[in-house]
Structure 1
């Protein structure tokens, strides 16, 4: 099985979002031609949500059989249901509320006002993942996992120098002391993210250039968590020209 790591550079955030949206639609149609269903892991952040909005506005949006697609999240802020900072709400507003995806195919993380504490919420999401997994597995087959990257190199809610990036057994963990608010979160772990067939990292802006450069230069995952993320088949960094400022030329793939 091949495992490619590529960097695709776009002129700006707008062209980046449109290009990733187009690739997502094409790839998802291809996946559904080959298998009965697809599982997609979503991310938050301005660029991640911009991609979802671009999918929604694409004339090709409904070439996807959305009834065969299930959505999960890489992480979530521990805030009440319907809170504007929830990745779930932002994704619903950008895309999910506008497509014919069955509600049972949408799998948000638990919210802080749904009765569980943070530890129990992590266990509940892990159980939901396992329920959707093939027999004997802990996770569904994630066909495409979207991730953003913070200026410090964090992915999902796995931050530098914290224990979350070193977790090797669990699929979901509670985050108690995130260095950016809110401090409490839920996150998939590195092994869960790395179980994905394809990881698509989408990032824009000059503040991401250093983290991206370090990750591609071989920094440790403790220092730059994104350095430890790699899909089973391939890993693609979709970036704008500002975020690509410190990427070695030999790692930049041409865009056709």
Structure 2
């Protein structure tokens, strides 16, 4: 494992350009090496801004060979503007020729799994199947909230202390809405970049 590095950019625009170039490089290298690449998307202004930059400069990404997951999502109805899934589709996914069977959104509250624990278990099965075949995600995008959360792993909550499960329901998020589904730190650790 390589040592982490910290890069500082003079502006959000510069950060997004550098992150988008890295996104494209990681995805295209993974596709060249394994045929398929997998990314875990994040929400938030910077995460969605990154997807917009990738849409404008996609490099050599073969969209038909990209598996798309989410690090977390708010457990609200499918059309809710707060859904990371909807924001990512608007910023990038609806504009590129993805194979729909390779896009894995988390369940919405008005979908097939109206209970967040069941929805998390269903997503966990999807994540486990992917990791069993490919070993790890290629890229997991992580934004950080003002209080230090990544995905929906908030400081001092049970979800951030999870040591075994890859996906859990969060029913007490300190940031509205209170119910979410999130990949855990063990899932984050199953990522190459």
More strand by share: 1
Q: Which residue does the alignment assign to 2:175?
A: 180
Q: In structure 2, what is the equivalent of residue 102 of structure 1?
A: 99
1:196 equivalent to 2:185? Answer no
| In 2: Cα distance, 1:20 partner to 1:45 partner | 15
Residue 30 (structure 1) aligned with residue 29 (structure 2)? yes
Given the alignment, which residue of 160, 163, 166 partners 2:161? Answer: 166
Contact 1:157–1:178 (Cα < 8 Å) also in 2 = yes
Alignment of 1:115-194 (within 5 A): 115-116=112-113, 117-134=115-132, 141-194=136-189
So what's the TM-score if we normalise by structure 2?
0.95
After TM superposition, give the deviation of residue 36 of structure 1 in Å. 1.4
1:80 aligns with 2:43: no
Contact 2:81-2:87 at 8 Å conserved across structures:
yes
> Is the contact made by 1:175 and 1:184 (CA closer than 8 Å) also made in structure 2?
yes
Q: 2:88 pairs with 76, 86, 91, which one?
A: 91
Q: Which residue of 2 aligns with 1:240?
A: none
Q: What 5-or-longer segments of structure 2 have no aligned partner?
A: none
For structure 1, the residue ranges without an aligned partner over 5 or more in a row are: 199-256
Structure of greater Rg: 1
What is the Cα deviation at residue 132 of structure 1?
Answer: 2.5
Deviations 1:155-191 (A, max 9, x none): 1001111111111111110001100100000000110
| Structure 1 residue 152: Cα displacement | 1.2
Give the SS at the match of 2:90. Answer: helix
Q: Tell me if the contact between 2:30 and 2:37 (Cα under 8 Å) persists in the aligned partners.
A: yes
**Partners of 1:49 and 1:30 in 2: CA distance:** 22
Q: Does 1:56 align with 2:55?
A: yes
Q: Over residues 130-168 of structure 1, what are the superposed CA-to-partner deviations in whole Å (9 max), with x where a residue is unaligned?
A: 232326xxx852001000011111110011111111111
Q: In 1, are the aligned partners of 2:131 and 2:137 still within 8 Å (CA)?
A: no
Secondary structure at the residue paired with 1:132? helix
Number of paired residues?
Answer: 192
1:27-84 CA deviation, whole Å, 9 max, x = no partner? Answer: 22122111111110000000000000000011xx151111111000000001001211
Please give the TM-score of this superposition, normalised by the length of structure 1: 0.72
| Whole-angstrom CA distance in 2 between matches of 1:40 and 1:21 | 13
